[in-house]
Amino acid sequence: MYQPDFNQLLKVLRREKPDRPVLFEFIINDDGPAFESLLGRPFDSSASAPDRARQIVQAYHAGGYDHAVLPVWDLGFVGFPKGDIESKESYSQDEGGVITDQASFDAYAWQDVTAEPFAVLEETEKDLPDAMKYIICGNCGVEENVVELVGFQELCFMQVDEPELLQEIVNAVGSRLLAHYEEALKYDSVGAILLNDDWGFKTQTMMSPAFLREYIIPWHRRMAAASHAVGKPVLMHSCGNLTEVWDDIIDDIKVDGKHSNEDNILSVEDAYETYGKRIAILGGIDMDFLCRKTPEEIYKRSAEMIERSNGCTGYALGSGNSIASYVPVENYEAMTRAAREKRT
């Protein structure tokens, strides 16, 4: 059985050369064939939260990872309930908004995050393999939750018509995410936090860079500072074209490792060449490539990325987004095999 070593991922995040290639994955969908292959059986979603966490740890361990990412709702963070949203092949970001004015803001049932028990961490940290650590994410990020609470179009109007109310909403979301991370960081079993907030789409950021800098980035900066204050690194997952805010991510928020790449926006190879001297690049094997190409092609590109990064110096191999349930298991295994074979 593979012996995890979170220190190897820490070396990647410090942009040092690890002792062997490192794998990173934010999400391995527990209803997909890859997860079942790693676990050796179907995921038991009806199990208790600690037992669900143990299954996740077992799967990440079997896959050759030095970390495991737990679903935030199993840690007690319900998040920010929204209205009904019809979801098919896509969904509208205007649906589901529940805060439209001061009265609806005041009436909203904001969660007391300081009351989170974190019983899952308390009960399972003793079950982690030696030198393996948890990475804790949020229940989405500041921007994503604000957009869903208000509705995209209404949010655009609110910037002009009610900026004070908008700031109250942002602060209510940001302060709870910060409290969630601060509580998680108290545990020795937590090695890092991950700020997961999708800021963009194919051609640009969803909201303007000015909006991000005024409302969203200050809270991300505080979350990152809280983690760095206790000596733990900060990862960020954000999809989309972030060309205009990469400097903010690196120099203002001070993120240690950036996750999520698409070939039709910025390939992982280009991301590593452009930003790899300033920030670690995580994952990046494009989802379309991972799903459509042959295992041989996937193995070749993954192995070449390890070589390009001089044995994963400032780079950890993984998908451009997640191991979704539709990713063919043989393709996933071809990607990770490129790292596992170079460890021997």
3-class secondary structure per residue, 52-64: HHHHHHHHHHHHC
**The pLDDT value given to residue 283:** 97
Range 169-178 average pLDDT: 97
Q: Is position 51 within any domain? A: yes
The answer, yes or no, to whether residue 92 has pLDDT greater than 70, is no
Return the structure tokens found at 85: 């949203």
pLDDT range class, residue 79, cuts 50, 70, 90: confident
Q: Is position 44 within any domain? A: yes
Range 26-55 average pLDDT: 96
Range 68-78 average pLDDT: 88
pLDDT range class, residue 56, cuts 50, 70, 90: very high
* Dist. CA 294–CA 298, nearest whole Å: 6
Q: Which of 20, 43, 115, 42 is nearest to 77 (CA)?
A: 115
Q: Is 31 left (phi over 0), alpha (psi -120 to 50) or beta?
A: alpha
Q: Is position 152 within any domain? A: yes
Q: Is position 190 within any domain? A: yes
Q: Per residue in 180-225, pLDDT tens?
A: 999 999 999 999 999 999 999 999 999 999 999 999 999 999 999 9
Residue 289 has, within 13 A of its CA and on its CB side, a CA count of: 23
Q: Which amino acid is at 237?
A: H
Q: Is position 289 within any domain? A: yes
Residue 216 domain boundaries: 6-80+118-341
What are the residues whose beta carbons fall under 8 Å from the beta carbon of 162, sequence distance 6 or more? Answer: 101
Q: Is position 203 within any domain? A: yes
Q: Per residue in 323-340, pLDDT tens?
A: 999 999 999 999 999 999
Task: State the total domains in the chain.
Answer: 1
Question: Could you give the residue ranges of the DSSP H alpha helices within 194-328?
Answer: 209-211, 217-229, 246-247, 268-275, 287-292, 295-308
Instruction: Look up residue 343 and give its DSSP letter.
Output: T
The answer, yes or no, to whether residue 88 has pLDDT greater than 80, is no
Q: Per residue in 219-259, pLDDT tens?
A: 999 999 999 999 999 999 999 999 999 999 999 999 999 99
The answer, yes or no, to whether residue 114 has pLDDT greater than 80, is no
Q: Per residue in 277-298, pLDDT tens?
A: 999 999 999 999 999 999 999 9
Q: Is position 90 within any domain? A: no
Task: Using CB atoms within 10 Å of the CB of residue 231, give its burial: 0 to 12 exposed, 13 to 18 middle, 19+ buried.
Answer: exposed
Return the structure tokens found at 341: 């074979």
**The pLDDT value given to residue 342:** 85
**The pLDDT value given to residue 4:** 97
What is the CATH number for 285? 3.20.20.210
**The pLDDT value given to residue 96:** 62
* Dist. CA 263–CA 283, nearest whole Å: 12
Mean pLDDT of the chain: 94
pLDDT range class, residue 94, cuts 50, 70, 90: low
The answer, yes or no, to whether residue 95 has pLDDT greater than 80, is no
Q: Is position 148 within any domain? A: yes
Range 12-38 average pLDDT: 97
